[in-house]
Amino acid sequence: MSTSSTQTETATPLSAILLVFGAGMLFSCLDASAKYLVLSGMSAPFVSWVRFTVHVVLALVLFRCWRNPAMFRVRSLPLQVLRGVFLFGSTFFNFKALETLQLAQTTSIFFFAPMVITALAGPLLGEWAGWRRWLAILVGFVGVIVITRPGVGSFQIGHIHALTAMVSYSLYVLMTRHMGAKETPESLIFYSALAPVVMMLPVVPYTASMPSDAFHLAILLMLGFFGGFGHWLLIQAYRQATATALAPYPYLQMVWMVGLGYMIFDQFPDAWTMVGAGIIVASGLYIVHREHRLRLASRSVPSAEDGDLAKRL
């Protein structure tokens, strides 16, 4: 999973940033809806499976599969399946985390994903980070420690679920960036949902918990729309800009998550969560600053190797 380390950096397109913002809004609705369902007694595995099943149906209909055979063609089926596994892991463990954690807590931990993406983008994608950005990653990790506070009684299984979801999501994003130029957006959306639907079929009968009324059923079915359309926006964004360039912009999602948590669940994040989230956001914004410096330097010194330049930034 590598690309040329000499890939030229360009300014991040505004359209790509807006696509990430739109995806974040849909993902906020997805998390709030999932939390509502699991707190009402529905099992997280079944909610996750329905979310991806609706995702598959929507993809087949909206992309007119009967007239668009390209959505079934793939360059690498194993990579498509692996990417689907990472996406399902992110969704399932996030839903499990929402059983015990607030929306703001899970989102704050998820905010560390840009730092993980930046750290892994070098060896996996050839988009190397310099020592200053590595320092920002370490500071961001301090923010995660502040939120979870292991060893002081506040750390719980929900934090482990949220951390697992965050790592799985980071790997999913990196694979999206790696495969985006080789696979069609339609196939990326379709197979990322089909893989978990098929793999989860054997356990569905043992985890199924049907909604209690039409209102809960409607929310359950909307999960597929929120997730499917959100990931379509994300795929379009990563086709326009690098993983590291776009990684910090989902921070606006924190505002939406805090608002939804307060309006729907009457929950507001405590001081530790806000402080930890602030540290993580500050670290991410510093990475944005270094990425901007890298792009400016790349344009002013066109003969420099991007990899060597990045190590100095």
Note the pLDDT tens digit of each residue in 174-222: 888 888 778 887 888 888 889 999 988 888 888 888 888 899 999 999 9
pTM: 0.75
Per-residue confidence (pLDDT) for residue 11, from 0 to 100: 61
Per-residue confidence at 296, pLDDT binned at 50, 70, 90?
low
Per-residue confidence (pLDDT) for residue 193, from 0 to 100: 87
Contact (Cβ atoms closer than 8 angstroms) between residue 178 and residue 3 = yes
pLDDT average, residue stretch 126-145: 79
- pLDDT tens string 32-41: 999 999 998 8
Per-residue confidence (pLDDT) for residue 168, from 0 to 100: 94
Per-residue confidence (pLDDT) for residue 73, from 0 to 100: 83
CB atoms within 10 A of CB 239: 15
User: In this model, does residue 51 exceed pLDDT 60?
Assistant: yes
Q: What is the DSSP letter of 43?
A: -
User: In this model, does residue 302 exceed pLDDT 70?
Assistant: no
pLDDT average, residue stretch 102-126: 81
Contact (Cβ atoms closer than 8 angstroms) between residue 237 and residue 16 = yes
Q: In the chain, which residue ranges form alpha helices assigned H by DSSP? A: 14-39, 44-62, 77-98, 103-110, 113-125, 131-148, 157-180, 185-200, 204-207, 214-238, 243-246, 253-265, 271-300, 306-312
Per-residue confidence (pLDDT) for residue 121, from 0 to 100: 79
71, two tokens: 């959505």
C-alpha 313/C-alpha 311 separation (Å) is: 5
User: In this model, does residue 170 exceed pLDDT 60?
Assistant: yes
The alpha carbon torsion through 85, 113, 50, 30 (nearest 10 deg) reads -170
Rounded to the nearest 10 degrees, the angle between the axes of helix 77-98 and helix 44-62 is: 130
pLDDT average, residue stretch 214-232: 87
- pLDDT tens string 62-89: 788 888 887 888 888 899 999 999 988 9
Share of the chain above pLDDT 90, in %: 14
- pLDDT tens string 241-265: 776 677 667 777 777 788 888 888 8
Per-residue confidence (pLDDT) for residue 252, from 0 to 100: 72
pLDDT average, residue stretch 95-99: 90
Residues in the chain: 313
Per-residue confidence (pLDDT) for residue 5, from 0 to 100: 39
